[in-house]
Amino acid sequence: MNIASIDTGTNTILLLIATPVGSNLIQKLTEIHNMPRLGEDVAKSGIIKEEKIKELCRIYNEYKAVCNEYKVTKIIACGTNVFRIAKNTPEVIRIVKSETGIDLKIISGEEEAESSFLGATADFDKNQNIAVIDIGGGSTEITCKNNNNLLFRKSFTTGVVTLREKFVNKNSLSKSNLDELSDFCNHYFSELENVRGMSDFSISIAGTPTTLFSLYNGYTEFKGELIHKHQLSIKNIDEVVSGFIDLPFKEYGKYGKIITGREDLMGAGAIILKTVLNKLGLDGTTISITGLRYGIILNYLAQNPESYQT
């Protein structure tokens, strides 16, 4: 059977279609990414805008058509932080069901962190002290584990979109913006100092680390096979960010497609990642191109073993 997961976040909506090859292993068939930024201004207004709801339904119907092509028998659509904070989430769920036939389930921050860890570590040796860092649009999930032993897990309710709206200029990223972001994140993530030194290494997922790695290596478009399981150091992050300062967002096109839709978010994402690594006592991170959308399917298979054949 083929299964689809839809990770519906504050900034992106990600489709994964995969086929199970065991209880803890899946084979990717296709993926599609869209960046409608559903969470635009939600931190201030508490409302997902009408035009964003229409865009959500359009994307869901597009994904549903792809699912039909792949003869998908199960679609699991999950909503993250933007839906946890928006006042009109019940209405959005109703509209999505009416317009697309898809049931949108809102998951808690802890569920998101757990599934992100499951997806990110799917092809890593878990018998180590691992920290998984998932930097989203509206939240940042940090999970530290050794094999199945939970050391730390928390969903921090801030992400690249919320920090961009709070600290970054409209048209470019300034040095003072970075200083303010650093001051905020240094205080906001101070709780992580309690688990400093507890992780042998970290795995970072989502658009921030993959884009930073790509920019550092000169990739103009996403090249998953050249990104997955490769290293990004804090020094690398600093080098990339130095090129952003005072450069108008409209000129970020020089970096290629890899940054399209993320131009104004990269400064905030870089500071979050750098701060978290510093708090954990790490000088770099390993990039994974898997994450929540993979974990959603793996979690479903673990709970429904009849859904696969070994």
* pLDDT tens digits for range 87-126: 999 999 999 999 999 999 999 999 999 999 999 999 898 8
* pLDDT tens digits for range 217-242: 999 999 999 999 999 999 999 999 99
* pLDDT tens digits for range 14-66: 999 999 986 678 999 999 999 999 999 999 999 999 999 999 999 999 999 99
pLDDT at 25: 85
pLDDT at 304: 84
pLDDT at 23: 62
Q: Evaluate whether residue 114 is within a structural domain.
A: no
Are residues 233 and 209 in contact, defined by beta-carbon separation less than 8 angstroms? no
Residues 173 and 271 reside in one and the same domain: yes
Section 149-172 average pLDDT: 96
Q: Evaluate whether residue 183 is within a structural domain.
A: yes
| CATH code for the domain of 46 | 3.30.420.40
* d(C-alpha 38, C-alpha 224), whole Å: 25
Q: Evaluate whether residue 117 is within a structural domain.
A: no
Residues 77 and 167 reside in one and the same domain: no
Q: Closest Cα partner for 42 from 170, 159, 168? A: 159
Please state, for a pLDDT cut of 70, what percent of the chain lies above it: 98
Residue 310 has pLDDT above 60, yes or no: no
Which tokens belong to 126? 């878990």
Section 259-284 average pLDDT: 98
pLDDT at 148: 76
Section 130-150 average pLDDT: 94
pLDDT band at 309; cut points 50, 70, 90: low
Residues 74 and 33 reside in one and the same domain: yes
pLDDT at 308: 63
Residues 221 and 297 reside in one and the same domain: no
Give 3-state DSSP helix, strand, coil % of the chain, rounded to 5: 45, 25, 30
Contacts of 233 (CB under 8 A, 6+ apart): 283, 284
Q: Closest Cα partner for 83 from 135, 131, 33, 137? A: 137
Section 134-142 average pLDDT: 97
What is the domain range of residue 180?
A: 124-289
Are residues 70 and 30 in contact, defined by beta-carbon separation less than 8 angstroms? yes
Q: How many domains does the chain have?
A: 2
| Residue that is written with structure tokens 């290629």 in the block | 256
| CATH code for the domain of 181 | 3.30.420.150
- Compute CA distances 112 → 84, 106, 109, 188, whole Å: 11, 10, 5, 20
Residues 212 and 133 reside in one and the same domain: yes
Residues 188 and 82 reside in one and the same domain: no
